[in-house]
Chain A
């Protein structure tokens, strides 16, 4: 049996590595990836404050959107508040829940900053953000539909536009709806951010 052998001359370490100049490739890649992920996490944390403000503003504005008209009419109620419309009640409750969720998700975001290469907190954030974005959008769109009817009415169903009388109420509720749509946009950005951070390992 003839044994064929090959001799490969492998330098144990590159001379520059021995001198400590060139870092090993594996470590460098790890540093770049974790640094990039850490940057994404910090951006995610800061971005979370935006929907927090938007959701709280929306809930607060809708909650305090009461209006009492100075005159009396025989047929229409002369007071308007968010609790006159069940959709607006849902809006206030949902927006408060969203604001509470964001406050609770801030620690998880901090965990992703501290441990940039861990996938579990990021995946958890992505899943929860998707669910909460669905809730926010549902509240925002249903309140927007009711606001539209309040502004324009509906001839076919004989629904009169109440904004003719309750101008301030309508203005405040519309502002709250716009603010909640802003929160939805930020949630979309947060979800995409988590997805991009997940793929980079």
Chain B
């Protein structure tokens, strides 16, 4: 068995050019660092955008939940058939909405550290994957709450002649306005969550 060998001639210049070699080493180090940063550069940008989106989504979800929670109205007159008070707890769907959007808001607060980790370590895969999976679950919950509340708000605005469900917004204007605002805010947060998932996916993929 013939062993083939290659000799590599590593020429090291003397002390005069030692500083030059030092510079060479520094250059190489710099190039390596720049390469790492370039690879993680756009990922770091994505992570920062992700963090800012999360902050915005926290604001919107807290707003949606609190607007629905405080959506009460008492009418100044009495009627024989309809209750003259309306609040979010008259509708189980709105109760579900308040609770689940509050859960979503607290999830977002808890996910901020993971987002910071992805900014600090842009090439790490595990935090991004965790964020992707949990964001998908929370997206489902948010869409469920927003969709169900939207259906009830639509019913309250328009009623249904076939089932004899009367539109209560005729009497409770302020209550309807507040609940509609809350539903719109929740829908905007759904869009934010879709963006967050797409950002995590783009940052996950390697070259």
Binding site for B on A (CB under 8 A): 1-13, 15, 75-77, 80, 84-87, 119, 122-123, 126-127, 130-131, 133-134, 137-146, 148-150, 152, 154, 156-160, 162, 184, 188, 191-192, 194-196, 198-199, 201
Q: Which of B147, B166, B201 contacts A142 (CB 8 A)?
A: B147
Known: A2-B14, A134-B143, A156-B86. Is A191-B160 also a contact (CB below 8 A)? no
CA of A10 to CA of B163, assembled, Å: 86
Let me know if B66 is at the binding interface, CB within 8 A.
no
Q: Are B163 and A162 in contact (CB under 8 A)?
A: yes
Let me know if B34 is at the binding interface, CB within 8 A.
no
Most buried by A among B10, B164, B204: B204
Let me know if B16 is at the binding interface, CB within 8 A.
yes
Let me know if B194 is at the binding interface, CB within 8 A.
yes
CB interface residues, B 8-41, toward A, < 8 Å: 8-14, 16-17
| Identity of the chain A residue whose Cβ is nearest the Cβ of B145 in the assembled complex | A141
Q: How many CB-defined contacts (below 8 Å) exist between A and B?
A: 179
Which residues of B have CB within 8 Å of A3?
Answer: 11-14
Q: Are A130 and B10 in contact (CB under 8 A)?
A: no
CA of A2 to CA of B139, assembled, Å: 68
Q: Which 3 pairs across A and B sit closest by C-beta, in order of nearness?
A: A141-B147, A142-B151, A145-B148
Q: Are B144 and A137 in contact (CB under 8 A)?
A: yes
Known: A148-B93, A156-B83. Is A4-B205 also a contact (CB below 8 A)? no
Q: Are A138 and B146 in contact (CB under 8 A)?
A: yes
Most buried by B among A119, A123, A141: A141
Q: Are B10 and A12 in contact (CB under 8 A)?
A: no
Q: Which of A77, A145, A188, A194 contacts B201 (CB 8 A)?
A: A194
Q: Are A191 and B5 in contact (CB under 8 A)?
A: no
Q: What's the least CB distance linking B174 to chain A, in Å?
A: 16
CA of A195 to CA of B149, assembled, Å: 30
